[in-house]
Amino acid sequence: TLSLSHNRINQYETNVNNKNLRYLDLSYNGLMKLTITNMTNLQILNVQNNLLTSENINGLIPNQLKELILDFNSIRIFNKNLITPNNSLETLSLQSNDFLLNNSNAF
């Protein structure tokens, strides 16, 4: 578990090979960019209450991730192609984002 919530972080990039990290909490920051690679056992990613947009979450969902919390961001479009067919995602929370209702590729 790594909690970096409430820290005014606006960018988080890692390519560190961290096989032990299962829970990463980056909530309540000012994240506008997020890049996560080589976290092969990450199961829960909490990035609620940030400034992430539809473009910033492209490629965010690793195959092994089980829970993704994207509440209270600036996401307007969520394309179903962001979730790969072999993805393990069980819970996706997108509360209080300003979605466009005419997105035919959502789900």
pLDDT one-digit tens code per residue, 1-45? 999 999 999 999 887 778 889 999 999 999 998 888 788 899 999
- Between the alpha carbon of residue 48 and those of residues 2, 68, 82, the distances in Å are 15, 9, 18
Number of domains in the chain: 1
- 0.85 exceeded by the pTM? yes
**One-letter amino acid of 83:** I
Q: What are phi and psi of 76, to 5 degrees?
A: -105, -30
Parent domain of 55: 1-107
Using DSSP, state whether 34 is helix, strand or coil: strand
Task: Please give the pLDDT value at position 38.
Answer: 80
Mean pLDDT of the chain, nearest integer = 87
**Could you tell me the pLDDT band of residue 93, with boundaries at 50, 70 and 90?**
very high
Nearest to 94 by CA among 64, 80, 73, 65: 73
Asked whether the predicted pLDDT for residue 49 surpasses 70, the reply is yes
